[in-house]
Amino acid sequence: MKAAASPSKIANLSFPSGRCALFFRSPANFLSPALSSSIPTSRRKLTRGRSGIEGLMSKSFSSSAQSISSQPESDLTQVQLPTPKPKPPPPQFPWLIVGLGNPGKKYQGTRHNVGFEMVDALADAEGISMNTVNFKALFGKGAIGNAPIMLAKPQTFMNASGESVAQIVSFYKVPLKQVLVIYDDLDLPFGKLRLLPKGGHGGHNGMRSIVDRLKGSRDFPRLRIGIGRPPGKMDTASYVLRQFSRQEQDELDHTFQTGVEAIRILLLEGINKSATFVNTQKSMEQLS
């Protein structure tokens, strides 16, 4: 048996004119019959024009398309992008409600301590214990609705109230707009309430201390409780440390109930509604 000629030898052959047709019958079938017969059938199929590589690719693509189109629509619609995770809600800071006064039995029931008494009324209404001593204050935690609150009665004496308040604000990172300070006011009629979103200390030593300790900031709400001016020529210092009469105490109880409701509105509906509620209230004397 004769060995098949190698492709390199075939390429170097020279042929008489008119004899090339034997080997180059078409671009798709350019090998001699002898050489062509020596190539496996599977390889020869790749050299046959559109039935070669392009044909196989076309068939493969058509087959894949038919496979996809033959799938039920329900299977295709099941492929969904992952749902983005919802953003976590912003952190909810507690409210700090501070009542100002002086510690000790000597000062219980005096005009200068109405801030303490308002916080006590709120603690009783909301079931919040005030037995813990922390941050130089009688301290308690609770909630009104979904609003967390902290109650504080500084035990530093009135003129140093800011020491306690500043520590609580710093530790719990309480926004100043959520720090409500409750204190007595000589310039308001007895039993009258006034709620403001911010302001100065008005000469009140407890408020002065808080403003100083909060680096001069006055941008925190305050609830003032009127105790009236001293009668006649009574000294102011003596007047603010004076006990209430029975009639005055009855009127204060009404004031405290109004104040508790005002604080609830403040925490749940905002300062505008609370201020409208407080600042339009009438005293018991006006109601009778």
Question: For residues 171 and 166, what is the distance between their CA atoms, to the nearest angstrom?
Answer: 9
CA 240 centroid distance within chain = 43
Active-site residue 112, yes or no?
Answer: yes
Question: For residues 38 and 106, what is the distance between their CA atoms, to the nearest angstrom?
Answer: 121
Supply the Cα-derived Rg of the chain in whole angstroms: 46
Residues in the chain: 288
Residue 286, sorted as left (phi over 0), alpha (psi -120 to 50) or beta, turns out to be: alpha
Catalytic residue among 112, 201, 204, 254: 112
Question: For residues 180 and 53, what is the distance between their CA atoms, to the nearest angstrom?
Answer: 83
C-alpha triplet 135, 136, 139: angle, nearest 5°: 65
Question: Per DSSP, what are the bridge partners of residue 148?
Answer: 143
CB 32 within 8 A of CB 26: no
Question: For residues 257 and 284, what is the distance between their CA atoms, to the nearest angstrom?
Answer: 12
Residues classed as catalytic: 112
